[in-house]
Amino acid sequence: MLGKVLQRINEDYHPTIYITENGFPESALEDKAKVAYLQGHLAEVLKAIRNGVDIRGYLLWTLMDSVEQYYDTQTKFGLFHVDFNHPNLTRTPRLSSKFITRVYQTRRLH
């Protein structure tokens, strides 16, 4: 779906595109659904770039859990879990943080 939207925007307007705040809510440390979501979206972005769409940036939402204005306090988007009940706000990497680190290091989705 994202690829079709990017292609349509490119065909109609030919803009330079920056994708911002693209994320998926999942609270588990083994956030496999978020990894699948990110992998799928990044694959669509790469395909669009190869098809001539001028995409200059892709920003994930978000590095660490935060309190989301439009969601309850249990909805977590971060690549790192934040324990808001601990005085040090302990941070623990989720599976998605390991996935995105591997993508950055290897420049590959698989």
Q: Confirm whether 29 is domain-assigned.
A: yes
Q: Confirm whether 7 is domain-assigned.
A: no
Q: Which domain holds residue 28?
A: 19-106
What per-residue confidence (pLDDT) applies to 74?
76
Q: Confirm whether 10 is domain-assigned.
A: no
Mean pLDDT of successive 10-residue segments in the chain (110 residues)? 96 98 95 98 98 98 86 84 94 98 95
Q: How many domains does the chain have?
A: 1
Q: Confirm whether 98 is domain-assigned.
A: yes
Q: Confirm whether 5 is domain-assigned.
A: no
In this prediction the pTM is: 0.92
Is the backbone peptide bond immediately before 20 cis, with ω within 30 degrees of 0? Answer: no
Q: Confirm whether 93 is domain-assigned.
A: yes
Q: Directed axis angle between helix 2-13 and helix 32-50, to 10°? A: 30
